[in-house]
Amino acid sequence: MELRPLGRTGLEIAPLVFGGNVFGWTADEKASFGILDAFVDAGFNAIDTADVYSRWAEGNSGGESEAIIGNWLKANPAKRDKVVIITKVGADVGQGRKDLSERWITEAVENSLRRLQTDYIDLYLSHWPDPETPYEETLGAYDKLLKAGKIRNVGASNLDAGQLSDSLKVATDKGLPRYDVLQPEYNLYDREGFEGPLCDLVQREEIGVITYFSLASGFLSGKYRSAGDVAASKRSKFVEKYMNARGQRILKALDDVAAHTGATQAEIAIAWLIARPGVTAPIVSATDREQLASLFKATELDLGPAEMKILDTAGA
């Protein structure tokens, strides 16, 4: 398995990151253990989660995903050094707002470490911008955690080009750690937020990029073709926005490339992301080993210029 450098972090990751948002939501602990075992045994090594996963599910309060990953690490101690654990802080998990204050980060990291049953987090991300907290305070909190060995690298999710640029300037001016990884929403449908100034910035600054909603909440797998398909899904509230003429145009392009290559729509959508400028690895999720095996194939799929053009044009 070829590993890719994750920006300037010193970490190297395989070309897929597993998205642990499904753990404790659409995958129970037993299924989650099987998925994690298969993912790591296949040579992949990065697992993404957050303290808020999966608070949105009925009966959950947040932390369920981290807790399942922690139980898996406890059951498989030899695998801790083989995996890159990525988690996030700053979402509202009951405190009433998006929060990147030093007080909250200091408290939240201890909660995540306890749930994950580990002494350190490989990559700790600011989940959402917090307009009430200066970058200097947030990065200063991370500086203390880095020096204490509780986290090893820092990054951010959901920043635009201006916000990321401002954070980098504060880090340089104040001698604080900078965000070395970005986690943006990016896929064949959702392109505007990443392509352009933000993509240019991360490449110029050598910032690693791991994309979320890489399959547009499953829409790019091709399984949602009608309103009925959407209504029957647990992901209906995430998928509804794709059910329009542009979404159908993208599905047709995926169908056309699938006919040429023999690959599935999901494999093609992921392969497109892996080949995109600035992207280190897409985050992918699965709820069973069959889905996971299909995603593995995406890393071996080499889309030619003609296929890339078809996809680029449909999703432009």
Report the mean per-residue pLDDT for the chain.
96
Confidence at 34, pLDDT banded by 50, 70, 90? very high
- 34 neighbors 6 (Cβ within 8 angstroms): no
Mean pLDDT of 221-228: 85
Q: 236 pLDDT exceeds 90? A: no
Token pair 């992901």 is found at: 235
Mean pLDDT of 179-193: 98
Alpha-helix runs per DSSP H in 117-160: 135-148
Cα separation, 235 vs 24, in Å, equals: 15
Separation of CA 104 from chain center: 22
In the chain, % helix, strand, coil (3-state, to 5) comes to 50, 15, 40
Predicted confidence (pLDDT) per residue in 92-150, tens digit: 999 899 999 999 999 999 999 999 999 999 999 999 999 999 999 999 999 999 999 99
Token pair 């029957």 is found at: 232
Which residue(s) pair with 12 in the sheet?
5
Predicted confidence (pLDDT) per residue in 266-277, tens digit: 999 999 999 999
Confidence at 203, pLDDT banded by 50, 70, 90? very high
Q: Which two tokens stand for residue 54?
A: 């999966």
Q: Which two tokens stand for residue 16?
A: 């897929």
Cα separation, 135 vs 220, in Å, equals: 35
Q: What is the largest CA-CA distance in the chain?
A: 54
Q: 224 pLDDT exceeds 90? A: no
- Say what the pLDDT of residue 234 is: 65
Residue 24, CA atoms < 13 Å, CB-side half-sphere: 26
| Residue % of the chain over a pLDDT of 70 | 99
Q: 152 pLDDT exceeds 90? A: yes
Q: 230 pLDDT exceeds 80? A: no
- Say what the pLDDT of residue 229 is: 75
Class of domain 4-183: alpha beta
Mean pLDDT of 48-58: 95
Q: 221 pLDDT exceeds 90? A: yes
Q: Which two tokens stand for residue 257?
A: 């490339």
Q: 238 pLDDT exceeds 90? A: no
Q: Which two tokens stand for residue 33?
A: 């253990």
Confidence at 227, pLDDT banded by 50, 70, 90? confident
Cα separation, 185 vs 167, in Å, equals: 19
Domain positions in the chain = 4-183
DSSP structure class, residue 239: H
Encoded amino acid at 93, one letter: V
Lowest mean pLDDT among 16-20, 33-37, 172-176, 219-223: 219-223
- Measured over the CA atoms of residue 291, residue 276, residue 188 and residue 24, the dihedral's sign is positive
End-to-end CA distance of the chain: 31
Predicted confidence (pLDDT) per residue in 62-99, tens digit: 999 999 999 999 999 999 999 999 999 999 999 899 99
